[in-house]
Amino acid sequence: MSMQPKGSGEIPAETVRVARAAFPKGSLAIRVRDELGSLFTDEEFADLFPSRGRPAWSPARLALVLVLQFVEGLTDRQAAEAVRARIDFKYALGLRLDDPGFDFSVLSEFRDRLVQADAGRRVLDGVLAAAREKGLLTGRGRARTDSTHVLSAARELCWLEMVAETLRAALNALAVVAPDWLAEAAEPDWFRHYATRAEDSRFPKAPAKREEVGRRIGTDGMRLLKAVTSPDAPAVLRAVPEVETLRQMWVQHFHLVEGEVRRRDPKDRPPGAMRLVTPYDIEARGSVKRDTFWDGYKVHLTETCGADTPDLITNVATTDATVSDFDLVPAVHAALAERCLLPDEHLVDTGYVTARHIVAARREHNVELTGPMMPGTGWQNRAGSAETFPVGAFSIDWDRQTVTCPGGKNSTRWAREPVRDKVEIRVQFSKTDCGSCQVKGSCTRGPRRKLTIQDRDIHEVLHQRRAEQETDAWKERYKMRAGVEGTISQAVNRCGLRRSRYRGLAKTSLQHQLTGAAINLARIDAHFTGARRARTRTSHFAALRPADHTIDGAKQTTPN
């Protein structure tokens, strides 16, 4: 298909007349078109289409359909039917009432084009640009970020199901590419064990029997890999993606011991960032956060907050499930800077905050990164007693490169040592000084006290923030961050954020960009209609809880 720019243009007069009569109070789609105009232009997506070929449906209209689809939680078939049958959709898209729309498969094809060009962000940017022109987005001010887990589109598999399905997927793929070769290479038992889905099988309950089934599957997979890689096998077989997935899965879970296939010990398997969890979504990864275990991805949402304008999502970042929150801070700030949407203050939770990130955000973007710092890891911090001496109790002379302990003794060693991607300062005191110190038991459990500190700017920020976050003023300011939890809830309940609709990181990322754009349209519409924001749900019984009542030692306050 080729793209011939047409844009939404003017709304046909008959469409306007009928829409006004049918929706006297308007609808979200109608209000969005009236207030924001045409959100996208065909020229923005011109690079996704060849210059020659059969004319394609307007990509600007398709982009708007994708956003409206996520606003209302529609399937592709339902979205295509809405374009064909709903008056308010025709109004938003600028279509005539008798326009037949398009086949639902066009939406999938358009998403594929967006994924291949990594163009999903353009859709979110189009909504943000329209909001900026309307005065609903100005930049600076405050923003907040949080992440949540996203389940893979492929269902979670137990270990036996995972390896059995990996082998079955490879056999099915080879049956399409080289049926005659596979018919000769396949063992007779393979048709009994792998012709149907693993979930249709009844695996034994006894651990010994399950281990025996696992060895059988591992042996069968090894035989297939050996046959595929033999000199007599067609070279095309080794290029089948499912065969490569089989090879990776077997390397991660099996090995040969004295010529026999054995399951690897858990300690002998690769780290979670590399380990496959399903053959049907090879980019999904398994992760854990407190009591939550999941296979899939993680999404980070950043939104404006604290202004009279609606809180709008300004950045969406999707990673595999094993990426730590603090790894995303530089990328989020870079993306906001590119959009000219950096805040003055960025509110985040503990997982995003390190002293290095605070210093880097100030230096590179003039952004104040605000979030509670983790306490020190030494036993002196965990003791929680004024009689112990954590790092903060020591005086540092940065110019002389000397540290003075609470007992008045000076350090004897100051050395800068590289550790991974940073440099740490290692400090230690004399054994003689520490050995004769009367408060040694409150300072160190070894023969001498040793300290590890960061560079001056990072060290000072670290201890300044830890002291500041104990004040009531800081806690009151930080309350604003909690609102992002409501955004995640809205995205989960309205747009299905919790589970990926598609397989693979790129398609999942596109889903999240569309989710961000959909949430923004819904909030802009709520702003125009004066809809009040929903309050945090509290059960009738919970609302009766006394203000000073405590549960598990934590004070529970009565909701406002």
Structure tokens at 183: 């018919």
Is 121 a residue whose pLDDT tops 60?
A: yes
Q: How far is 440 from 69, CA to CA, in rounded Å?
A: 66
Angle, CA 427 vertex, CA 425 and CA 432 arms, to 5°: 170
Is 139 a residue whose pLDDT tops 60?
A: yes
> Which DSSP string corresponds to 44-93?
GGGGGS-SSSSBPPPHHHHHHHHHHHHHHT--HHHHHHHHHH-HHHHHHH
Is 280 a residue whose pLDDT tops 70?
A: yes
pLDDT at site 341: 94
Is 558 a residue whose pLDDT tops 90?
A: no
User: What is the average pLDDT across 525-535?
Assistant: 86
pLDDT at site 535: 74
Confidence bin at 3 (pLDDT 50/70/90): low
Is 298 a residue whose pLDDT tops 90?
A: yes
Confidence bin at 548 (pLDDT 50/70/90): low
Is 260 a residue whose pLDDT tops 80?
A: yes
> Which DSSP string corresponds to 483-510?
HHHHHHHHHHHHH-TTB-SSSSHHHHHH
| DSSP symbol at 271 | P
pLDDT at site 383: 61
Please check whether residue 127 is in contact with residue 521, taking contact to mean a CB–CB distance below 8 angstroms: yes
pLDDT at site 345: 96
Is 206 a residue whose pLDDT tops 60?
A: yes
Confidence bin at 71 (pLDDT 50/70/90): very high
pLDDT per residue as tens digits for the range 313-351: 999 999 999 999 999 999 999 999 999 999 999 999 999
> In the chain, what percentage of residues exceed pLDDT 90?
78
Give Cβ neighbours of residue 209 (< 8 Å, ≥ 6 apart).
Answer: none
pTM score, two decimals? 0.89
pLDDT at site 553: 42
Structure tokens at 110: 């358009």
Average pLDDT, the chain: 91
Confidence bin at 450 (pLDDT 50/70/90): very high
User: What is the average pLDDT across 106-119?
Assistant: 94
pLDDT per residue as tens digits for the range 463-521: 999 999 999 999 999 999 999 999 999 999 999 999 999 999 999 999 999 999 999 99
Confidence bin at 387 (pLDDT 50/70/90): confident
pLDDT at site 385: 59
pLDDT per residue as tens digits for the range 17-48: 999 999 999 999 999 999 999 999 999 998 89
pLDDT at site 60: 94
User: What is the average pLDDT across 535-558?
Assistant: 65
pLDDT per residue as tens digits for the range 144-180: 999 999 999 999 999 999 999 999 999 999 999 999 9
DSSP SS3 for 276: coil
Q: Sort strands 368-370 and 345-347 into parallel, antiparallel or unpaired.
A: parallel
Nearest CA to 128 out of 310, 298, 364 is that of 310
pLDDT at site 162: 96
Is 557 a residue whose pLDDT tops 90?
A: no
Distances from the Cα of 6 to the Cαs of 45, 60, 83, 347, 358, in angstroms? 12, 9, 17, 42, 47
Region of poorest pLDDT, from 178-182, 270-274, 363-367, 534-538: 534-538
Distances from the Cα of 147 to the Cαs of 225, 291, 328, in angstroms? 40, 16, 10
